[in-house]
Amino acid sequence: MSAAAKAHAATAAGSSGDGPSDTLSKVEMRAIEKRFPGVHALRSVRFDLRAGEVHALMGENGAGKSTLMKILTGVYHPDSGEIFVDGKQVTIPGPKAAQDLGISIIHQELYLMNHLTAAQNIYIGREPRKGFGLFVDEAKMNADAAALFKRMNIRIDPSEEVGNMTVARQQLVEIAKALSFNSRVLVMDEPTSALNETEVEHLFAVIQDLKANGVGIVYITHKMDEVKRIADRITVMRDGQTIDTVPAEGTSMARIISLMVGRELADATRAEGTGTETEMLRVAGLNRGKAVKDVSFTLRKGEILGFAGLMGAGRTEVARAIFGADPIDSGEIHVRGKRAMIKSPKDAVTLGLAYLSEDRKHFGLVTPMSVRDNVTMASWQRFTSGRMWMKDAALRKTSKEYVDLLKVKTPTVDQETRLLSGGNQQKVVIAKWLLRDCDILFFDEPTRGIDVGAKAEIYKLLQGLAAQGKSIVVISSEMPEILRLSHRIIVMCEGRITGELDGKTATQESIMTLAAQGWGKAA
Amino acid sequence: MTDTALTHAQPEKPGFFTIATMQKAVAFVVLVALLIFFSVFAANFAAWNNMVNIMQATAVNGVLGVAVTLVIISGGIDLAVGTMMTLTAVMAGIVLTNLGMPLPLGIAGALLSGAAMGGFSGAIIAKLRIPPFIATLGMMQIARGLALVFSGAKPIYFNDTPSYQYISPESSITSLIPGLEIPNGVFVMFGVAIIASIILNRSLLGRYIFALGSNEEAARLSGVNVNFWKIVTYALSGMICGVAGLLVSSRLNSAQPALGLGYELDAIAAAVIGGTSLAGGRGTVLGTIIGAFIMSVLTNGLRVMGVQEEWKIVVTGVIIIIAVYVDIALRKKM
């Protein structure tokens, strides 16, 4: 059966009744309803996509963006509502049907097989055959893939193993795979979350090409600047409803944010005060492989020190090395004026250091365990009688205190941590370290995956901690975040510190200049 | 998404409908159903004599099941539990028969040698970063070989230590309640299960076992001495294998050095049937005990019905697959 015939089969629901209102629409979704047990996930949602446009889909986490796109790509079935593709009403019973209709999705986490080549990944399950269909025609497959890449104006070797590629190139392979299905509609879920600035530029160029070829793109993102740059229209969702669809041109960021959160946010403010003079942490000549080169800095009591830089600048590696998570090659670490030998995270914690990873689910939390156990995990030894038996009543009481203190939204402290939202999970991790009496806190991308409203709350929390005399390092790729929080800013590039800025006077431009130093040399 | 969070709210004392409870309930219902089935269709199955047989057979596998359950929850696996059991039995034999020492020393010999071997496995896994499957596969052969070497490849009998019988086959309860005969080994098994359960749910070690099995890296970054607790877990598991060694050799009145291979698979099967996840982080001691009972009731029942020995093995395999499928199905529903 040809692709067209399959697509026809998928439209078997017929196009009787009224047609789509906007004949220009490639895809139109109308009055989509979806309920999950206990949640009304989508309420009469409408969404449309024109050929050759980039339509940004925005909203806080849990607004319903993913659910809507899962319906469009056949993962979920709507309880009611209509979907039109090219003016014909369709039902999309599964991902295969969506593919046959020319609808593909590029997920945030890529679904590629690392040990296969680019071409093998693209044509997996439909390899060209030779020799009575017993053998794969690798030559033809590579040639086809090369032709695809050429059409996209990108240079990738079809016979290169995907596992050896950067995330950015892997993503391009995914896009090529989608195009190989003759996709006319491409859903991209936060495609730039793991890319550096150059890679983002490259991706945008590919997107422009796709647009010019008439491909419609649904672009899910949290990043305002990207939307401003590439989107033609913006649809904002909130609480499972379509709030509004607006043209990207002439709509201010503040307006979009207010649509997303349902209230206007005050303009970003700068950090107040400067911290004290007391030195809490001094790092001198820290080296670790290629990632960390001769890094020296100090951190004072009550200070928020921002670590800015592009992806891969070595900021996370610095924090992990200081924390004892990875071994160092050389360098000295002084904590509260004393030379510290940190060989493992355990040593670091004993000295009052804490590292809050950007990847909370893998490195910060034991998600199947309760909020109570996660809050107290670093301090369990304290809650035992005779270092043997757990004092559960005390655990519960103390974790409750910290949950209240940080306003963690959870029905009880016995809730499994995986059921909490990103912002509340982050608060649980913070509570863990506060309870452990840590006063030197490394925050790696503290608001990654946290929705706009909760971000402000995390900022307030960090500022409050600094005001109480905790010393805080904030590693962030979001410059407004660095500018808003930091008393001082250290900028890194390719494993080295390239400069230090005053938080009050630094600008995005001054940070960027330091962050991009050496990039010219590398290229 | 707050809505979803609230609907999934689970109270601390797990309510009746948590997955773990459901699973144990399902396993228990299966056990009762099997008992009823065999009582009806297999003559003499329900005879007290036969029940005693079942209980004695369960005691060894149940204790080994508990040993391996602890390790599995911590995110590991221990293939050596069967042959470590044999080696501990041989150690008891050497202490009691060859060296002629008193019973308590023999028991201590079995328990300590078990703990040492388990700790050794744990150290290899933690310090040398050898995957548990491989490390304990090696340990399984080491223990098997050492049991043969130490015993001279001959059974060691406990004829000089008549009191050794009191560990498993004797029924001390009969002197308290005349007419009731339950082998001591069954009480030993329940004792081990209760202690292990308390350790798992109430002790610092237990909390770390769950944390390691759920997310070892997060535990490490929380400042937990991951290597130390891993070694302790394997050592405790090895010590419990020592209990199994005492039970099996007491029942046979001899340490049989060639015994032990295959016991590890039955132990793992008991854990899995009882709802312990091989992915780690999830499991209960009670579930494992129920799982061990299901296996021995099945084995015994089919034998009493006159089903060919080989078919029993086939049925056991089928039961394992069904048990894991039920687990997956339950999980999907929740």
pLDDT digits (tens, 9 = 90+) for A232-285: 999 999 888 999 999 998 888 778 877 876 654 444 567 676 777 889 999 999
Burial of B204 per CB tally in 10 Å (0-12, 13-18, 19+)? buried
DSSP A164: G
A414 touching B (Cβ < 8 Å): yes
Overall domain count for chain B: 1
Task: List chain B residues with CB under 8 Å of A414.
Answer: 10-12
Chain A within 8 Å of B203 (Cβ-Cβ)?
Answer: yes
pLDDT for the residue numbered B4: 36
Distance, CA of B166 to CA of A249 (rounded, Å):
87
CATH at residue B213 = 1.10.3470
Note whether residue B68 is domain-resident: yes
Question: Taking CB atoms and an 8 Å cutoff, what residues of chain A touch B74?
Answer: none
Cβ–Cβ contact A396 with B under 8 A: yes
Using a CB-CB distance cutoff of 8 angstroms, which residues of chain B are in contact with residue A346? 223-225
Number of helices (H) and strands (E), helices first, in chain B?
A: 13, 2
**Domain-located, residue B4:** no
The whole-number pLDDT of residue B6 equals 35
Output the tens digit of pLDDT for each of chain B's 334 residues: 333 333 333 333 444 456 677 777 888 888 999 999 999 988 888 888 899 889 988 999 999 999 999 999 999 999 999 999 999 999 999 999 999 999 999 999 999 999 999 999 999 999 999 999 999 999 999 999 999 999 999 999 998 888 888 888 888 888 888 888 889 999 999 999 999 999 999 999 999 999 999 999 999 999 999 999 999 999 999 999 999 999 999 999 999 999 999 999 999 999 999 989 888 998 999 999 999 999 999 889 988 888 887 888 888 888 888 888 887 887 776 5
* Partner residue opposite B204 with nearest CB, options A38, A381, A421: A381
Task: Please report whether residue B3 resides in a domain.
Answer: no
- Residues A112, A113, A119, A125: is their CA dihedral positive or negative? negative
Contacts of A364 in chain B (CB under 8 A): 218, 221
* Binding-face residues of A in 429-458 toward B, CB within 8 A: 432, 436
H-type alpha helices, A263-333: 315-322
Q: What is the CATH number of domain A270-352+439-523?
A: 3.40.50.300
Task: State residue A49's pLDDT score.
Answer: 95
Q: How far is A343 from chain B (nearest CA, A)?
A: 11
Q: Is the dihedral of CA A155, A160, A162, A167 positive or negative?
A: negative
Who's near B167: CB < 8 A, 6+ residues apart? B107, B184, B185, B188, B246, B247, B250
Q: Does the distance separating the beta carbons of A420 and B211 come in below 8 Å?
A: no
pLDDT, tens digit, 9 for 90 and up, residues A27-65: 999 999 998 765 678 999 999 999 999 999 988 766 888
The reply to whether residue B204 touches residue A388, judged by beta carbons under 8 angstroms, is yes
Q: What is the pLDDT of residue A3?
A: 47
Instruction: Please indicate if any CB of chain B lies within 8 Å of the CB of A36.
Output: yes
User: Is B44 within the bounds of a domain?
Assistant: yes
Assign B66 to helix, strand or coil: helix
In 3D space, the residue among A440, A438, A427, A434 whose CA is nearest the CA of residue A303 turns out to be A440
Whether this model's ipTM surpasses 0.90 comes out as: no
Residue pairs spanning A and B at CB distance below 8 A: 116
Spell out which residues of chain A touch residue B223, defining contact as CB-CB under 8 Å.
345-346, 348-350, 378, 436
| Environment class of A399 (CB within 10 Å of its CB; exposed 0-12, middle 13-18, buried 19+) | buried
The predicted pLDDT at position A24 comes to 66
Residues of chain A under the 70 pLDDT cut: 1-24, 37-39, 61-62, 261-269, 271, 273, 517-523
Residue-level pLDDT at A266: 45
Angle between helices B263-273 and B81-93 (to 10 degrees): 130
Of the candidates A155, A94, A82, A158, the one whose C-alpha atom is nearest the C-alpha of residue A123 is A158
Whether A1-102+183-265 and A270-352+439-523 share one fold: the answer is: yes
- Strand ranges inside A128-264, DSSP E: 129-130, 135-136, 185-189, 216-220, 233-238, 241-247
Best CATH choice for the domain A1-102+183-265 from the list 3.40.50.300, 1.10.357.10, 3.40.50.1580, 3.60.40.10: 3.40.50.300
C-alpha span between B64 and B268 (Å, rounded): 9
Other Cβ atoms within 10 Å of A245 Cβ, number: 15
Domain-embedded: residue B134:
yes
Sequence spans of domains, chain A: 1-102+183-265, 110-181, 270-352+439-523, 362-437
Inter-residue contact B215 to A366 (CB < 8 Å): yes
* pLDDT reported for residue A109: 74
Q: How far is A308 from chain B (nearest CA, A)?
A: 23
Residue A371 with chain B: CB contacts under 8 Å: none
Residue B13 is assigned to a structural domain of this protein: no
Range of the domain at B267: 18-333
Q: Which amino acid is at B243?
A: V
